[in-house]
């Protein structure tokens, strides 16, 4: 693909996600709100990935001027095999109309108290992070990562790596498409 004329369409207007794509590609994406098709708070890797894919495909379908649709989805997953803990994951799906790739971002352990409240109150992680951090809209900025690490990590940096992973196969000469 020709990087000079490449346009990305991102399936959300979330500011942390827009910034992640901007950092990963050097290009401001077209941002469109599209449905994820999964619950507002995904509770498994399967749901999180499905949401990312749905967003990437819906976004590209709505923006014919773009070559690549990107879907970024945050979600929770329970690791039964190794730790018996819940993790926050940040996934990017990339879709060019022919091939689909995923970038699976960092899995970050979540505090038990947050998960217990999400389950009991049927609420979302962002609500609890805002309450704990006395913020509003933190999911558009540093997110849980920034709150829990005292700003050593933030949501756009984590998604940025996931975006780079998902788009590299379209760009690197080492992948034959």
Ligand X SMILES: O=P(O)(O)OP(=O)(O)OP(=O)(O)OC[C@H]1O[C@@H](n2cnc3c(O)ncnc32)[C@H](O)[C@@H]1O
Residues 114/77, Cβ–Cβ less than 8 Å: no
Q: Which of 139, 157, 165, 166 binds ligand X (CB under 6 A)?
A: 139
Q: Which parts of the chain fold into alpha helices (H)? A: 15-25, 45-62, 112-121, 125-133, 143-149, 155-171
In the complex, least distance from residue 124 CB atom to ligand X, rounded to whole angstroms: 3
Nearer of residues 66 and 91 to ligand X, judged by Cβ: 91
From the list 49, 54, 46, 141, the residue with the least C-alpha distance to 103 is: 49
With binding defined as CB under 6 A, does residue 156 bind ligand X? no
Closest contact distance (angstroms) between CB of 108 and ligand X is: 8
Query: What is the Cα–Cα distance from 2 to 79, expressed in whole angstroms?
Result: 40
- 70 CB neighbour count, 10 Å cutoff: 33
Binder among 69, 71, 74, 103 for ligand X (CB under 6 A): 74
**Does 159 help bind ligand X (rule: CB under 6 A)?**
no
Q: Does 57 bind ligand X (CB under 6 A)?
A: no
Tell me the pairing of strands 100-109 and 85-95: antiparallel
The contact mask relative to ligand X for 86-125 (x = CB under 6 A, - = no) is --x-----------------------------------xx
By the rule CB under 6 A, 161 interacts with ligand X: no
d(CA 116, CA 85) in angstroms, rounded, equals: 12
Count of residues in contact with ligand X, rule CB under 6 A: 22
Determine, following the binding rule CB under 6 A, whether residue 17 of this chain makes contact with ligand X. Answer: yes
Helix (H/G/I), strand (E/B), else coil: 129: helix
Residues that bind ligand X (CB under 6 A): 12, 14, 17, 36, 40-42, 51, 73-75, 88, 124-126, 129, 138-139, 143-145, 155
């Amino acid at each position: 693909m020709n990087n000079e004329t490449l346009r990305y369409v991102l399936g959300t207007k979330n500011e942390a996600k827009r910034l992640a794509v901007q950092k990963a590609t050097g290009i401001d994406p077209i941002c469109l709100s599209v449905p994820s098709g999964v619950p507002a708070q995904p509770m498994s890797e399967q749901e999180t990935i499905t949401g990312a894919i749905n967003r990437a495909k819906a976004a590209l379908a709505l923006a014919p001027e773009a070559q690549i649709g990107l879907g970024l989805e945050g979600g929770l997953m329970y690791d039964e095999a190794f730790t018996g803990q819940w993790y926050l994951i940040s996934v990017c799906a990339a879709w060019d109309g022919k091939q689909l790739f995923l970038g699976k971002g960092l899995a970050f352990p979540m505090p038990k108290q947050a998960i217990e409240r999400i389950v009991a109150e049927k609420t979302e992680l962002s609500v609890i992070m805002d309450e704990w951090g006395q913020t509003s809209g933190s999911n558009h900025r540093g997110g849980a990562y920034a709150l829990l690490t005292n700003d050593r990590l933030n949501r756009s940096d984590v998604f940025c790596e996931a975006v780079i992973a998902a788009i590299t196969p379209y760009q690197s000469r080492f992948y034959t498409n």
